[in-house]
Amino acid sequence: MAISKIKSFGLQGVDGYIVDVEIDLSKSLPKFVLVGLPDASVKESRDRCTSAIKNSGAGFPIGKIVVNLAPADTRKEGAFYDLAVAVGILAAAGELDEKALGQYAFIGELSLDGDIRRVNGVLPMLITAAKKGIKKVIIPAENAHEASFISSVSADNGNTNQYTQKIEPIEIYTASSLTQVLNAFGFSSGDINFASPYQNGVVQYLKRVTPRSFESVKRNMAYGADMKYVKGQFVAKRALEIAAAGGHNVLLIGPPGSGKTMLAKCFPTILPDMTFAESIETTKIHSIAGALDSRTGIIALRPFRTPHHTASLVALAGGGPKAKPGEISLAHNGVLFLDEMPEYTRPCLEMLRQPLEDNKITISRANASFEYPANFTLIASMNPCPCGYYGSRTNKCTCRPDDIVRYLRKVSGPLMDRIDLHIEVDSVNYDDLSGEHLEEPSEDIKLRVDAARKIQLERYKGTTVYSNSDMNTGQLKKYCALDGAGNKMLKETFEKLQLSARAYTRVLRVARTIADLDGATDITAEHIAESVAYRNLDRKYKL
Q: Are 53 and 87 in contact (CB under 8 A)?
A: no
**349 CB-near residues (< 8 Å, 6+ apart):** 341, 410, 411, 412, 415
Q: Is the dihedral of CA 125, 129, 131, 136 positive or negative?
A: negative
**487 CB-near residues (< 8 Å, 6+ apart):** none
Q: For residues 373 and 244, what is the distance between their CA atoms, to the nearest angstrom?
A: 19
Q: For residues 185 and 137, what is the distance between their CA atoms, to the nearest angstrom?
A: 14
User: What would the mean pLDDT of 298-323 be, rounded to a whole number?
Assistant: 90
The larger pLDDT score, comparing residue 58 to residue 514, is at: 514
In this predicted structure, the answer to whether residue 48 has a pLDDT above a threshold of 60 is yes
Write the CATH number for 419.
Answer: 3.40.50.300
Q: Do residue 106 and residue 143 come from a single domain?
A: yes
Q: What is the mean pLDDT of the chain?
A: 86
pLDDT of residue 133: 87
Write the CATH number for 163.
Answer: 3.30.230.10
Nearest 5°: phi and psi at 58?
A: -105, 155
Q: Do residue 8 and residue 56 come from a single domain?
A: yes
Q: Do residue 329 and residue 282 come from a single domain?
A: yes
pLDDT of residue 247: 94
User: What would the mean pLDDT of 22-38 be, rounded to a whole number?
Assistant: 90
The larger pLDDT score, comparing residue 18 to residue 488, is at: 18
pLDDT of residue 337: 97
For 222, other C-beta atoms within 10 Å of its C-beta total 10
Q: Confidence band (pLDDT; 50, 70, 90) for 539?
A: low
Q: Are 469 and 419 in contact (CB under 8 A)?
A: no
Q: What is the pLDDT of residues 56-65, one digit of tens each?
A: 888 888 899 9
pLDDT of residue 30: 86
* Domain boundary, last residue among 162, 181, 212: 212
Q: Mean pLDDT lowest for which of 220-224, 225-229, 397-401? A: 220-224
What is the total count of domains within the chain?
2
Q: Interior CA angle at 292 toward 71 and 373, to 5°? A: 65
Top mean pLDDT of 150-154, 228-232, 393-397, 473-477 is at 473-477
β-strand 335-338 against 304-305: which pairing, if any?
Answer: parallel
Q: For residues 10 and 13, what is the distance between their CA atoms, to the nearest angstrom?
A: 10
- Indicate the burial class of 400 (C-beta count within 10 angstroms; 0-12, 13-18, 19 or more): exposed
In this predicted structure, the answer to whether residue 370 has a pLDDT above a threshold of 80 is yes
* Domain boundary, last residue among 178, 212, 246: 212
Q: Mean pLDDT lowest for which of 165-169, 243-247, 448-452, 504-508? A: 165-169
Q: Do residue 182 and residue 258 come from a single domain?
A: no
Q: Do residue 162 and residue 223 come from a single domain?
A: no
Q: For residues 117 and 82, what is the distance between their CA atoms, to the nearest angstrom?
A: 10
Q: Do residue 91 and residue 203 come from a single domain?
A: yes
Q: Do residue 416 and residue 492 come from a single domain?
A: yes
User: What would the mean pLDDT of 122-146 be, rounded to a whole number?
Assistant: 92
**225 CB-near residues (< 8 Å, 6+ apart):** 262, 265, 266, 268, 269, 442
User: What would the mean pLDDT of 507-527 be, rounded to a whole number?
Assistant: 92
Q: How many CA atoms lie less than 13 Å away from 505 in the CB half-sphere?
A: 16
Q: Do residue 263 and residue 307 come from a single domain?
A: yes
The SS3 call for residue 80 is coil
Q: Do residue 137 and residue 232 come from a single domain?
A: no
* Domain boundary, last residue among 166, 184, 212: 212
Determine what percent of the chain falls in helix, strand and coil, rounding each to the nearest 5: 40, 20, 40
Q: Do residue 207 and residue 234 come from a single domain?
A: no
3-state secondary structure string across 434-455: HCCCCCCCHHHHHHHHHHHHHH
pLDDT of residue 16: 92
Helices 45-54, 82-92: inter-axial angle, 10-degree rounding:
60
Write out the residue range of the structural domain in which residue 96 sits: 2-212
Alpha carbon separation from 17 to 22, 67, 127, 321, 366 (Å, rounded): 16, 18, 10, 19, 20
The larger pLDDT score, comparing residue 197 to residue 264, is at: 264
Alpha carbon separation from 505 to 417, 463, 483, 510 (Å, rounded): 10, 19, 16, 9
Q: Do residue 196 and residue 227 come from a single domain?
A: no
Q: Do residue 195 and residue 270 come from a single domain?
A: no
